[in-house]
């Protein structure tokens, strides 16, 4: 199992590091620019010019203001941007590890060895979990280093890692979903299209829910409603509930992937 996990992770190592390093550099840039942005007042002026609906979609909250860099990152990364990145990140992993090997017949090499379908599916889930931890962990470490490095940045470590944990659970839930969808089809294109469509719809529903009070109920149809940085920064009681729901979703889809992949016929 360990050798299988190492082999699978080696296949996705470059894209995982690319996502992790790229997003971390973006966070570092925002953290370094934060003091000058606050001194000049350009950020507040820019936000005042935007419609309230746009601010809500990106999870900006004028009430909390920008007392620290996490308030800035809540809208510039951990909102709509993170939803898109998380979707693309996990869609690409599921395609590389499951949908593509089924499509091109590569999976038969693994199954010809003393490796069961459940073992392969579970190994893929572990690799996707490790990849998610690399992304979230490096993001958090970069922000901690920037906090130690610059005196003008004030980051609450508890809130920071609460956000990272919530982000990790979101990635695990989406990863389990994309893994489940990848086990449904023999063609990579069909699996990618279905999972991608559902995730895009979830993002759209999150945006529409912020447009007015009449559409607010739409947010409950999107998994991204379980990762709200505004609530995390305000210290509301939703963190534990959202974490439990994301963990349940992860377990449900992972179980579904194991059952589905174990009993289906493969045209390879």
User: What tens digit of pLDDT does each residue of 188-221 get?
Assistant: 788 889 999 999 999 999 888 877 778 788 888 8
Alpha helix locations (H) across the chain? 2-40, 42-48, 52-57, 69-76, 80-94, 100-104, 107-112, 117-149, 157-182, 188-209, 229-234, 238-263
Whether residue 230 has pLDDT greater than 90: no
Report phi then psi at 66, rounded to 5: -130, 65
Q: What is the pLDDT of residue 243?
A: 92
Q: What angle do CA 165, 167, 171 make, to 5 degrees?
A: 115
What is the model's pLDDT at position 13?
A: 93
- Assign 192 to helix, strand or coil: helix
| Residues found in the chain | 268
Phi then psi for residue 188, to 5 deg, are: -60, -40
Residue predicted with more confidence, 263 or 138: 138
Cβ neighbors of 213 (< 8 A, separation 6 or more) are none
Rounded to the nearest 5°, which phi and psi values hold at 227? -135, 90
Radius of gyration of the chain from its Cα atoms, rounded to whole angstroms: 20
Nearest Cα to 181, choosing from 128, 111, 130, 253? Answer: 253
Average pLDDT for the chain: 83
Percent of the chain beyond pLDDT 70?
82
How confident is the model over 212-240, as a mean pLDDT? 82
pLDDT in tens, 1-36: 788 899 889 989 999 999 999 999 999 998 888 777
């Amino acid at each position: 199992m360990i050798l299988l996990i190492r082999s699978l992770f080696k296949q996705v190592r470059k894209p995982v590091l690319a996502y992790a390093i790229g997003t971390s550099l973006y966070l570092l840039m925002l953290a370094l620019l934060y003091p000058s942005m606050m001194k000049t007042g350009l950020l507040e002026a820019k936000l005042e010019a935007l419609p309230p609906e746009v601010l809500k979609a990106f999870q900006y909250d004028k009430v909390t203001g920008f007392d620290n860099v996490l308030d800035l990152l809540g809208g510039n990364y951990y909102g709509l941007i993170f939803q898109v990145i998380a979707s693309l990140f996990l869609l690409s992993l599921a395609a590389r590890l499951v949908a593509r090997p089924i499509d091109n017949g590569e999976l038969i090499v693994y199954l010809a060895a003393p490796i069961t379908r459940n073992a392969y599916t579970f190994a893929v889930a572990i690799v996707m979990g490790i990849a998610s931890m690399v992304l979230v962990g490096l993001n958090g470490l970069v922000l901690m280093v920037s906090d130690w490095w610059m005196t003008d940045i004030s980051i609450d470590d508890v809130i920071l890692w609460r956000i990272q944990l919530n982000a990790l659970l979101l990635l695990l839930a989406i990863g389990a979903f994309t893994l489940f969808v990848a086990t449904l089809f023999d063609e990579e294109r069909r699996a990618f299209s279905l999972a991608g469509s559902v995730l895009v719809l979830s993002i759209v529903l999150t945006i529409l829910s912020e447009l007015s009070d009449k559409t607010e109920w739409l947010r409950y149809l999107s998994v991204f409603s379980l990762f709200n940085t505004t609530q995390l920064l305000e210290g509301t009681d939703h963190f534990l509930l959202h974490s439990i729901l994301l963990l349940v979703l992860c377990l449900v889809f992972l179980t579904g992937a194991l059952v589905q992949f174990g009993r289906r016929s493969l045209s390879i």
